[in-house]
Structure 1
Amino acid sequence: MVSPVERVDLPVRSSDLSDPQDFLLGDEQRMEVLEIDWGAIQIDDRWEEEGEQETASESVMYDRLGLLAEDERETTERQETVRQSDEFNDELPCTDCIPQERVFECNRSNPVMKIGSLYKDMKEFRLAIRQYAINNEFELGIESSSPFRYRAYCKGGDCPWRINARLQNVGSPTVVVTVIVDKHTCTSSGRRKTTTPTSSWVASLAMPFLTKKPHMGAKELQNTLQEQHNCTISYDTVWKGLTSAVNDVFPNAEKRECFRHLMQNYVKHFTGSEHMYPAARAYRNTIFEHHFSKARDILGVKQWIDEWHPLLWYRCGFNTAIKCDYITNNIAEKEKDRRQIGWYNPSHSHQFVEG
């Protein structure tokens, strides 16, 4: 039988040595060279007996290293600590009642106005008195309003109704009604356009609607409030109130507005639209300022935009982390059109924005 490996000795010539020091070894030195008989090699098949060896996944390795059991043990200990803490706190006596403490109970949808009525602060009182006027269908007039006192009357001709309120004590935010002449000789203001509904009043009532229906628009909110409270509210008042309510419901969201709708309102009052479009489309602040400064110099433009369009409508002001540089709401409009024309398929819809 031929051995799979035979040893062969070959002479080494001095001319084949790459290292000069090897020359000193002489021509008599021999180098061993291994010659392999490839045909005599046999393959060991012991791996086939053990079966196919698969690479373990991360979760399996995590379990084999004992880390999963350690996590479960820590979770169990933490839950036990919380349970013992709750049992201990349940045994402690807790008394929330403070002797002679004033409790404010105000029905925002139907507030009561009489001498001695208390409200926790002036902001709460202002909202309550407007709701009271709307419920009783008269137009509220403000004689004086400050952080310390409030005086109001009925605008209905010679109507004698009036009310006074002030801070109950110096340094306390509590407001108390001190005077009220609860008599009306005027006609009802129901379904008449009045100044009683304000943007603050709209914002306070819009909160529950936006919580349930975040995509409610100003027109829908206007119709809803007018129907519920039997009054007429201007669209501008509803828009301002809705904007304020959105800031309260979504405080961390970036607020943008459609540039196309902005320009539809802009061209009704001002010239210079040729400067507004490149300003809105600019990605760099320097380019935006170059174009917008020309429109801003037009009389009344800056004040109008600050008052009626305070949201972001220009690209250079957008948060780049959102990865959307649309200055119009075309995406939302197209989705709305698809629903309206009848071939919208909910199974093919995608969520464009994550809230």
Structure 2
Amino acid sequence: MNWINDGVLPKIRSFLNKKDTPENLWVKCPESGEMVFYRDLEANQWVVPNSGYHMKIKARDRLGHFFDDAAFTEVEVPDVPVDPLKFRGIKRYTDQLRDARTKTSMKDSVLVADGKLFGRDLTAAVQDFDFMGGTLGMAAGSAVVAGLDRARERKTPFVLFAASGGARMQEGMLSLMQMPRTTVAVERFRETGLPYVVVFTNPTTGGVTASYAMLGDVHIAEPGALIGFAGPRVIENTIREKLPKGFQTAEYLREHGMVDMVVHRHNMRNVIGSLTGIFMKAPAIDEIGDKPANVVNMRDVVVAAEGDAEEDELLDNPPIGAHAE
């Protein structure tokens, strides 16, 4: 027996070829502390099964779950100057951009795509919080404008999934100018009479909230999403008062009229498909299992959006802009 060939060498090879165990096999729920297997969480659209906590989801994954057959075409957006202010901080702005692009495989924080929702053409834009906190800079502003213009040209509804920490400080005033710029684009799109639906995801704050995110025809929010301009701690320190419990959450804003509906991520396709159908004067569609069925009025949309809530209560207090028949 050759102990070197039969014993030592196999052990050396196994040691050299040993693969490190990924650190993200299990993901901890921030709300309940529950440990969820990565693949299970991914298959559940990044919603923790037991607690229902909606975790952040990548832009392309969200579009894949949203459009029919996970098929969509990314829309080219205009190029903008890189690092126009030659910003220097702890890390160069150009290095930050390079790292964010490597991490997300996106040019910037907003991705625009064409696709079909229940067989109808639709244009959508998604902000990815993993790209520098979904901050609004020149590139992101140009992408939103390009998405609105694309929907206007194709005569399709426009759906925006917002997620942002606010303006991108590395671009200074040029970043702040994206607020009026995108607002003008929204107003130009509104002249067509086509529906503009905004979905607030966690978090949506700062200049994004102060511009195009609050200008939708319908405002939908994912459960538990933080929505506001300044953060709760900043507001408390400014006004020197304790804020109500749950202030700036999707549910609180729904109760106080700032958000029309709070919709679970699994129901988002159905609700938006029904709403855009109503706005476009086409048969609204709700999906039951894998087979679509017609929704004839806003009553069914409201009930589908709110899930387990009592139908009569919802119809007595419908979401803003909803007219129950």
**Superposition TM-score, scaled by structure 2 size:** 0.24
Q: Which structure has the bigger radius of gyration?
A: 1
Which protein is richer in helix relative to its size?
Answer: 1
